[in-house]
Amino acid sequence: MASNDSNKISSLYPSPPPYIKFFTDENVKRLPEYMKQRPTPVETTEDEPPITNELEFLIPPKMPKSQHYRAFGSVWQIKDQLLDLETMGITQLYIGAKDGEVTNYQYKIQELRRLLKSLLLNYLELIGILSINPPLYEPKVEHIRTILINIHHLLNEYRPHQSRESLIMLLEEQLEYKKEEIKNIEATCEQVKQKLKQIQESLTLT
């Protein structure tokens, strides 16, 4: 029974919660009046008391007091931020940004190239170990894993810069599209003027 429950919790699209049945048009109309009469809840560190009125289900929950919450069987951080490698217990192999270089992403490119070269070298060393003494492969595999995690983390640090560049490219494309539309409109207007001019000249001659 427990395994079935855990599968339901961690499924990609779980069934709606049972209190969804309380979200009716009638309850929505009753909610404003209930909110006026509802007593102010007292802040407490204890667990919240059980809900006795079905209209309580229509009131949005409070922000979690902890820094994380659970959704679809996974734990999510309230403040979406990239944790540093030391916090995750991983050795950081690349050099961090110096003072005044927070917005300079050139050093990230250089460190990525260095990590890729180190990854290739360790891969070649792993092949050599497997051909000479296979039981000694584990430390080298762990080193390769650390390098890959560092590369992945460094790429995630590059995401804000990538987002800005993608937004700039999108705006430039939209700007070029609008300019092209304006040119087409101006060309069409010029054609209409020429046609009107020809019609006026033909009427004058007659």
Classify burial at 147, counting beta carbons within 10 Å of its beta carbon; exposed 0-12, middle 13-18, buried 19 or more.
buried
**Low pLDDT (below 50) residues in the chain:** 1-3, 6-8, 44-46, 99, 102-103
**Closest C-alpha to 153, from 98, 111, 102:** 111
Phi, psi of 79 (to 5 degrees): -95, 110
Q: Report if pTM > 0.85.
A: no
**Closest C-alpha to 84, from 76, 70, 94, 69:** 94
Q: At what angle do helices 106-132 and 137-157 cross, to 10 degrees?
A: 160
The CA-atom distances, in angstroms, between 201 and each of 17, 51, 161 are 76, 84, 60
Amino acid 117: pLDDT: 93
Torsion of CA 82, 83, 84, 90, to 10 degrees: -120
Amino acid 147: pLDDT: 92
Amino acid 36: pLDDT: 83
Amino acid 107: pLDDT: 78
Amino acid 1: pLDDT: 45
